[in-house]
Each structure stands twice: as structure tokens, then as C-alpha cells.
Amino acid sequence: MKAIITIVITILCISSLFAQQPVTITPEDVPSMVGTDYELKLVKGVTTTVNLGEAGANKTWDLTGFEFNVTENWEVVDINDTPFVGSFPDANLVYKVTNSKGDTITYNYVRLLETGVSEVGQAKTLGGDTTFLATPNTIDPKTNFPVTYGDEPWTSVPEYESSVTYLGTDVDVLARDSSYFEVDGWGMVKTELGDIECLRVKQFNVRDVFIKQFNLWLRGFEIYVLYNWVAPEYGFVATIRGLNQQTDENFTEASQVSIMTLYTPVGVENTEQENIVRNFELHQNFPNPFNPLTHIKFELPEAADVKITVYNALGEQVTVLLNDRLSAGMHTVQWNALNEPSGVYFYELKTNQSTLRKKALLLK
């Protein structure tokens, strides 16, 4: 009985500790490892009812229950292997996006620095008939690191020149985005991926577009409110966009909903510098507390036989996550604790030379 009481008190204390710590986003939290891929499910092309929840500290947002009609697969790819790399010399990171129909491939070119992240441009092919290329006249950071709750709001005003080839016809586009960003909350977002600690970022966006076709210029104008839920390691886990011309920040109808439903990290980071691991290190799992998925990252200075085991608070083995020989570098494993009860768990990293252990908290 004393052991059970001790476990309950420990859970409550740890939960209280985490609840008092707002999330901070750094450059390391942006998915940037070649081979990392994740799945987004969207409600697109139809108006859908949404509940945005509240702004503020230590909030919970429930983003489950949507009827999705589009699936996108996002993958971090080697920038030198992309067909449009020459058009975006300022980029050092690229995401390849494929839709569920397989008829559209989009390359999002990004510049990731220690100080911030910027959208450099976009290239898209649709069924082989249409090519869309958006290159910037100005590169304005959309995020300045680190980002946390309580930061001053910031703005971003990038300008783009775009060219579209559609059925042999060239269309020129000039666009200017004026965006206002504010971190208006932090807490836990509930999605199909699990319960994830995150920041909520409110965005007001004004887009002025000029389109030239057959020597005629047309003008388009959009204004809308957007909410982004951003988490360490995952990046953007959810986005809800309001209707065009709707400026109410508490809107209940959305033109698009995008939710991350699958995330698969890998172990070789895509940076401009060589990724050298000098220490044997076991990182804190993320998210933590978690339900039911969490990721465990570790570093090996040299190749080794590695075993990662999870134990409960009584010291009983729960599962073996990994038992294999790995190369030197940074690695990540995922633990799905769907069938385990809430409580304190310990995960152990063991090689022939060393053993490291850390604590994780499962809260359902």
C-alpha cells in the first residue's frame, strides 16, 4: 500500500512540475533530418465547424473527431536531389509533399538558422501538366528563435514572384503576404497522434495578389485568421484556417483543418555542418508526460550493440524497444504505450560499455 501511495504522489508531483513549465521552441525542434516523414490529414475544400478552445497558460485543446478528406505525406529530402534546387540558392532544407491522389508533388524550400526560419519558396507539379514556381523578392523570417509563451508579437512581410505553366500558357503572379504572429497559449493538444505539449500561435494574414495572363492583370485579396499548434521536435502538429474575409479570432467555421497523424523521425540530421556525436547520451523522452506515443532520442559516439528496455515503477520489464547493432550518430525510437496503465516508467539504454536510465510519465 505504501508503494502505491508513493507512486501516486510521485505522479502528481511530476504532473504539477510539468504543468508549470511553458513550452519553448528552438531550431532543434524543427524537423530537419533527411528521411524524416510525417502524415497530415486535412479537411479541405469544404467549410467545417471547429472549436478553437481558449487562449492562455496550461490549456488543453481537443482537435479530434474531424472527418478528413485529404491526406498528405511530408518528407525531409536531400535538397540536392530536388529538381528545382537551382531556383532557391538561399534554402538549406526542403520538404517534399505528396497528396493522397499522387497527382501533385510540392517542394517547400526553407532556410533554417539558429536565429529563425524563413520560407524561401515553393515549386509544384500537378499531373505533369502544370508547373508552379514561387521565388522570393524578399526573405523575411516567419519565426525568430527561441519562441515561447509571453513573447512579444512579431510580423513577417515576404514578397514573391511566381510563374505558372498551365496547358502551355504562362501565368505570372506577384504576391505580398503581411502576417502578424502572437503566441497566445501553451498547454496540451489532443490529436490522433496523442497528447502533445505545444504552443498555440495566432496568425492574422493579409495576402495581396496580382495575376497576369494574356497580357491582362487581375487582382486578388485575402484576409483570414489562422491558428498553429507547434510542438518541440514535431514542428507544426495542427493548423486551422478561418474563412476568407473573416477576421473574428474566435471563429467557429474553418476553410481548412490540418492535423499531423503520423510522425517517423530518423537519425541523420540534415544540416550544413557535419553531424558529429562525441558523447554517449540518452535524451529525455518527448513528449513527457505523454499519451500514448513518445520518442526517445540517444547518441552514440561509435558503433555499438544497443538495447533499450522499459521498466515500470516496480522494476518489472514492460517491453524491449530496441536490441540491435547501430552505427555512430543520433538515433530515435518510438514507444507506443497504448496498452499500458498510467504511471511512472523508466527507460534504459544499455551498450557493452555503459548504461543510462531516465524516467518517463504516462498520463491517460
Does residue 282 contact residue 356 with C-beta atoms inside 8 Å? yes
Which candidate, 222, 218, 255, 262, places its Cα nearest to that of 240? 255
Q: What is the pLDDT of residues 250-308, one digit of tens each?
A: 999 999 999 998 877 654 333 333 344 567 889 888 888 888 888 888 888 888 999 99
Residue 141 vs residues 47, 165, 212, 302: alpha-carbon distances, Å: 30, 28, 28, 37
Instruction: Write out pLDDT tens, residues 153-169.
Output: 999 888 777 776 655 66
Q: Round to whole Å and give the CA distance between 237 and 253.
A: 20
Cite the residue boundaries of each domain of the chain with CATH code 2.60.40.2550: 276-362
H-helix segments, 86-189: none
Within the chain, which residue ranges are assigned CATH 2.40.360? 24-264
The string of pLDDT tens digits covering residues 40-59 is: 999 999 999 999 999 999 99
Q: Does the pLDDT value for residue 218 go beyond 90?
A: no
Fold of 276-362: Immunoglobulin-like (2.60.40)
Beta bridge partners of 223: 206
pLDDT confidence of 16, banded at 50, 70, 90? very low
Secondary structure of 18-61 in the HEC alphabet?
HHCCCCEECHHHCCCECCCEEEEEEEEEEEEECCCCCCEEEEEE
Whole-number pLDDT of residue 6: 41
Mean pLDDT of 203-227: 86
The number of CA neighbours under 13 Å toward the Cβ of 87 is 22
- For residue 270, what pLDDT is reported? 35
| Average pLDDT over every residue of 311-338 | 88
**CA–CA separation, 362 and 364 (whole Å):** 7
**Class for domain 24-264, per CATH?**
mainly beta
